[in-house]
């Protein structure tokens, strides 16, 4: 079930592995509290993207696979806003994040020079899986919606 960005989901504990003690939750991520960090909401992160020539086809329309790249940037910047980077997480704890599943709904194309926003919302955390809703917008208008499931893996 999809959740609207207008209604933030319940505050998740972003911990890989599902353990209860800090040693069991070696990949724990702490989301900001309401009003901190992610633009006023704890579970929605916004990342601006500009559409460049390299992102488009000959008609100046964003090539469909590039929305996956935009979404990846949004997820990476969400982690970075929590004080974690992919490199540091892997180096310190052996934890890595991989896309397990992704469903994309293309609605309206983005075009050359458009200023877009990638909104990333955490919907659920279940053990080593994070369910995310990512929406790519132009001036508030929904262009593309991605339901993404991220798996937390170890060495």
- Give the model confidence (pLDDT) of 5-25 as tens digits: 444 444 444 555 544 333 333
Question: Within a domain: residue 4?
Answer: no
The least confident of 64-73, 82-91, 133-142, 143-152 is 82-91
Partner residues linked to 50 by β-bridges: 115
More confident residue, 36 or 99: 99
Question: Within a domain: residue 110?
Answer: yes
Query: Is 114 an annotated catalytic residue?
Result: no
**DSSP conformation class of 51:** -
Q: What is this structure's pTM?
A: 0.73
CA-closest candidate to residue 118, choices 63, 45, 39: 45
CA-closest candidate to residue 5, choices 48, 30, 39: 39
Question: Within a domain: residue 13?
Answer: no
Question: Within a domain: residue 28?
Answer: no
Angle at 97 between CA 121 and CA 63, to 5 degrees: 65
Question: Within a domain: residue 58?
Answer: yes
Both tokens assigned to 145: 């919606």
Whose tokens are 């990333």? That residue is: 120
Is pLDDT of 147 > 60?
yes
Q: How many domains does the chain have?
A: 1
Residue 24: predicted pLDDT: 36
Question: Within a domain: residue 144?
Answer: yes
Catalytic residue among 55, 57, 113, 119: 57
- HSE-CB for 145 with a 13 A CA cutoff: 11
Question: Within a domain: residue 103?
Answer: yes
Q: How far is CA 36 from CA 4, 40, 80, 103, in A?
A: 20, 6, 14, 30
């Amino acid at each position: 079930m999809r959740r609207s960005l207008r209604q933030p989901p319940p505050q998740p504990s972003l911990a890989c592995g599902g353990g209860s003690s800090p040693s069991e939750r070696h990949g724990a991520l702490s989301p900001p509290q309401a009003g901190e960090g992610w633009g006023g909401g704890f579970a929605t992160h916004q990342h601006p993207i500009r559409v460049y020539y390299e992102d488009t086809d000959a008609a100046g329309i964003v090539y469909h696979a590039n929305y996956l790249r935009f979404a990846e940037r949004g997820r990476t910047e969400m982690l970075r806003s929590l004080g974690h980077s992919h490199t540091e997480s892997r180096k310190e704890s052996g934890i890595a994040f991989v896309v397990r599943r992704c469903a994309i709904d293309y609605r309206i194309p983005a075009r050359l020079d458009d200023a877009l926003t990638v909104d990333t919302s955490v919907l659920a955390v279940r053990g080593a899986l994070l369910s995310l809703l990512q929406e790519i917008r132009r001036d508030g208008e929904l262009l593309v919606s991605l339901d993404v499931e991220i798996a937390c893996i170890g060495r």
